Amino acid sequence: MRVGRLVSVLAAVMLAALVTGGGPAAGQSDYAQTGLTLHNQYRAKHGSPAMTLTQNLNNQAQKCAQYYAAKRTIDHSCPYKSGAGENLVGGQGSWDAISFVQMGTQMWYDEIKDYDFNTPGFSARTGHFTQLVWKASTRLGIGYASEGGWTVVVGLYNPPGNVEGQYPQNVLRPR
């Protein structure tokens, strides 16, 4: 009798999590989990808190990835991002999702080499890096799509980063 009750309670909790969609992403894809792990490893180097994947941001990032793959370009015009910060990587070729997420996240972080911590602020050469480590961004969504030989990864961030005047407190030197 108690086991049956426990199963009913667990099923109700799981159903509630699926219906709400705004909390942590239950059952996220392997590539989204890979992206989260890499983000959190890089962010820890800069004293930024760990991010959490959310189902809502994952869904939006997935729609954006499909949008860009269909367009065969990445131009920050996705209508599904709802004000979230956005990192993009895309290109000709067919990569598996996990490898492309790993490569894209590494490329975003590697922009650190061009960031001037003595004069913090936005630069087109470092905007992916600063968004990735932005301390105030705590929720993440990762999307992946490949269509007709064009592959895209989208990272969405809430709250969005790269806010002018807030770089010194959000983009910290590596420890």
Neighbours of 4 (CB within 10 A): 8
d(CA 46, CA 171): 7
- Which of 117, 107, 136, 174 shows the shortest CA–CA distance to 49? 136
Per-residue pLDDT of the chain (175 residues; tens, 9 = 90+): 333 333 333 333 333 333 333 445 555 699 999 999 999 999 999 999 999 999 999 999 999 999 999 999 999 999 999 999 999 999 998 789 999 999 999 999 999 999 999 999 999 999 999 999 999 999 999 999 999 999 999 999 999 999 999 999 999 999 9
Provide the 10 A C-beta neighbour count for residue 35: 32
Nearest to 56 by CA among 14, 95, 98, 26: 26
Q: Which of 94, 164, 170 is nearest to 132 (CA)?
A: 170
Query: Is the backbone peptide bond immediately before 159 cis, with ω within 30 degrees of 0?
Result: yes
- CB-count exposure of residue 162 (10 Å: 0-12, 13-18, 19+): buried
Spatial CA neighbour of 141 closest among 160, 166, 120: 160
